[in-house]
Chain A
C-alpha cells in the first residue's frame, strides 16, 4: 500500500509557491475579518454561542429519543425516512430510490455528508449524470477535484484558473476571467441541468424534531431550484444535525452565516416539511461513525459542529497549507478532530497539524473545544503506535531527563558547552531541522540556576 502523505509533507509542497501561499492566506483571512465585523455587531454574540452549544449538548445527550421522535414526525408529514449505518448503506439507499423512480439525471446541492460517503463517484460508476449545482462545487467537479473547504469548495482556485476551466468545459472565451461573465455562463449551463433533472439531492443543515421538517441553507438558491423542479427529492442528513424545536433555529441561523462568511444570514434558508402533491421526498439518516464518536468522552463535542468553516478561515495552518493538505473530506481544525475517529492511522498526522493556538475554539459558534481535542487525539495517536519510533524515544528520554534534576543540570550544561565548542557548520548540519531556517539561541556563559547560586543563595 502507498504510504499516506503526512500533513507536514503536503504543507511543505504547498508552501513552495510562496505567492500562492500568501494569496491563499490573505483570501481566507479576509473572510475571517468579515466574520469578526459581523459578530461584533451583535452584543449578545457570546450568549448566542453559549446557547447554541447548550442546545447541541442536549441533542447529543438525548440523540436516541430525539431521532425516533423526528422520524415519527417526518413520516407523519409524508416524508419517507431511511436509516443508513455507514456510507455504503447510504449510497445503496440512494441508488435504489433512483432506480425505483427511473431517474437518470441528478442535480445536487452542497452536502459534505455525500462527499464523506463518496456518493458522486458511486453514482457516476453506475452511469448516472450527477451535477453539482453549487457554483464552487461545479467548478471543482469540472476540475476533477474534491472541495478544499466545506463552505467555499473552490477557494483554492484563482479567477484566472476558473476562467480556464470554464473555457474548457463551458466554451467561454479564452482568457476571460470576469466574475460576472463566468457566473452568467455557469447560470445558463445549470439552468438546463435543473430543467432536465429527475431527482434532486440535498444535504440537511438542521432537522427539527418537533416538526419533522428540515432546513437547507444555500447562498445560490440551488437547493430550491433543484427540489422545485425534480419529481424526487432525496435529503441526506447526518444523525447529529437535529435541533429540538423550531424556536432553536434562530440561534443557529444567526450564528451560521456570520461565522461562515460574515453575512447576517444565508441567502436562502429553505424549509422542507412534506412532498408536494404527486412528488416524493426521502430523508436518509446516516450514522457512518457518528455513534462511535458520540461514545468517545473527549471527542463527542465535535458532533456539535454546524459546518460553518470558521475554524478553517481562522486557522493559520489551514490558510498556509490549503484544504488538500489534510487529505480528508472535512479539512482544517474540525476535520482534524473528526477524521481520526474515522481512520486513525490514515489521519494520524492531522492532530499534530496545529500549534494549539486555540483560535479555532474561540471562533467556533458552538464552542467546540477543538484545540483541546487535538491535544487529546495526539495522546490517542501515540498510544496506538502511529508515530515515529525516533520521536517516541526522544520523548521518553526527554521525560526521564526532566524527571531527574541532577541529570537535567548535567545535560543542560553539557549541551550549552557543546553548542559553544562545536563548529557552526556541524551545529547546522542536516539533522538540525530547527536550524534549517532559524538560528539557535546563543548559549549563555551560565544558566539561571548557576547565576542564582552565586547571586542569591548563600
Chain B
C-alpha cells in the first residue's frame, strides 16, 4: 500500500522527530510512504482566523502535492479535519489522521514497543469531535477511543484517568495569541489535571496542543514530558 505523508508546517519546521516517527511507523507496518517535497500547509491558520480566502493558495499547493494519491496520512487531527472540511472539495483523496489510519485501515494489533511510564492522553478537540477519534464526553453511546486503543497495546504503559478527560487545552491556533490570557489559563488547568493524576508523559494525536502545553510546562519548570503519540508507538522514550 502506498500513502502520501502530510507533515503539518509547524511539525515540519519545529518537530521533525514527530514527522520521522510517523514515517518510520508507517514503514514498519509495510506501507510505502512518499513525502511530496513541495508541500507547505493546509491553510488552517488563515481560515480559522477568518481569512479562509487567504488560504486558497495553500489549498491549491496541497491539492497539487496530494491530489493524485489514494491515501494521505498526517500526524495531526486538526490539520486532517481542516483538509477534509475545507480543502478537498469534490476530490476523492482519502485523508486520515495517523491513529485512525492505524486502527481502521491497517488494523494494527501488535505495536511491539514498551513504554514504562504513567501517560496522560490529551484528546485534541479537532481529532475528538471533528474526526470522531473517540466518543466525546457529551455524547451518549458506546465508548470508543482510537488513540487509547493503540496505546493500550504498548507494553508496560500506565494510562492515567483524568478529572476532565476531554476538555480543550486552549491552544486554538491564533486564539492562543488573540485571547492569550484565557488560552494560558486553560493550558495551565489542563497541565494541573494531568499532574494531579501523577502523569509523567502527556501525549496526543496533535502536536499543536502539545506545543502549547509544552511551552507552559517549560516556562513554569514542570517536570512533565510531552510526546506525540507517533513517537511512543515508534518506540521513543522521553528525553
Contact = CB atoms under 8 A, between A and B. Distances in A.
Contacts of B161: none
The SS class assigned to the A binding surface is helix
B159 interface: no
A412 B13 contact: yes
A403 B168 contact: no
A18 to B, nearest CB: 8
B68 interface: no
Interface string B38-79: 111101011111111111111011000000000000000000
Contacts of B9: 402, 408, 412
A392 B57 contact: no
B13 A355 contact: no
Given A11-B179, A415-B13, A441-B214, A408 B41 contact: yes
Contact of B215 (A25, A46, A440): A440
A426 B49 CA distance: 27
Contact of B184 (A355, A357, A401, A438): A438
Contact of A439 (B12, B13, B57, B218): B218
Given A403-B60, A439-B214, A396 B184 contact: no
B194 interface: no
Contacts, number: 217
A378 B51 CA distance: 8
B162 interface: no
Contact of B61 (A361, A382, A405, A453): A405
Interface stretch (B94-102, B108-116, B129-137): B129-137
Nearest to B167: A316
Given A398-B45, A441-B215, A46 B172 contact: no
Contacts of A408: 9, 40-41
Interface stretch (B14-22, B148-156, B228-236): B14-22
A253 to B, nearest CB: 18
Contacts of A457: 35, 37
B65 to A, nearest CB: 8
B140 A43 contact: yes
A15 B43 contact: no
If over half of B's interface residues share one DSSP class (helix, strand or loop), that class is named, otherwise mixed; here it is helix
B13 A378 contact: no
B50 A381 contact: yes
Contacts of B180: 8, 12, 433-434, 436-437
Interface stretch (A131-139, A292-300, A442-450): A442-450
Interface string B169-203: 01111111111111111110100000000000000
A433 to B, nearest CB: 5
A7 B130 CA distance: 25
A395 B54 contact: yes
A405 B129 CA distance: 31
A352 to B, nearest CB: 6
Contacts of B56: 399, 403
A359 interface: yes
A54 interface: no
Contacts of B15: 441, 444, 448
Nearest to A310: B138
A434 B177 contact: yes
B140 A352 contact: no
Given A40-B140, A363-B138, A437 B46 contact: no
Nearest to B33: A456
Given A11-B179, A362-B139, A438 B46 contact: no
Contacts of A439: 214-215, 218-219
A391 B125 contact: no
B46 A359 contact: no
Contacts of B51: 379, 382, 392, 395-396, 399
A434 B170 contact: no
A317 B182 contact: yes
A29 B138 CA distance: 12
A220 interface: no
Nearest to B217: A439
Interface string A293-319: 000000000000000000000101100
A157 interface: no
B186 A316 contact: yes
B140 A11 contact: no
A350 B219 CA distance: 29
13 contacts: A12-B182, A36-B137, A316-B167, A355-B125, A355-B186, A356-B172, A359-B129, A379-B52, A399-B51, A402-B41, A402-B57, A403-B56, A439-B218
Given A434-B177, A440-B215, 7 more contacts: A317-B186, A355-B183, A358-B130, A391-B178, A399-B55, A438-B216, A441-B15
Interface of A: 7-8, 11-12, 15, 21, 25, 29, 36, 39-40, 42-43, 45-46, 314, 316-317, 320-321, 351-359, 361-363, 375, 378-379, 381-382, 387, 391-392, 395-396, 398-405, 408, 412, 415-416, 433-434, 436-444, 446-453, 456-457
Interface of B: 7, 9, 11-17, 19-20, 23, 35, 37-41, 43, 45-58, 60-61, 125-126, 128-130, 136-141, 164, 167-168, 170-187, 189, 211-212, 214-216, 218-219
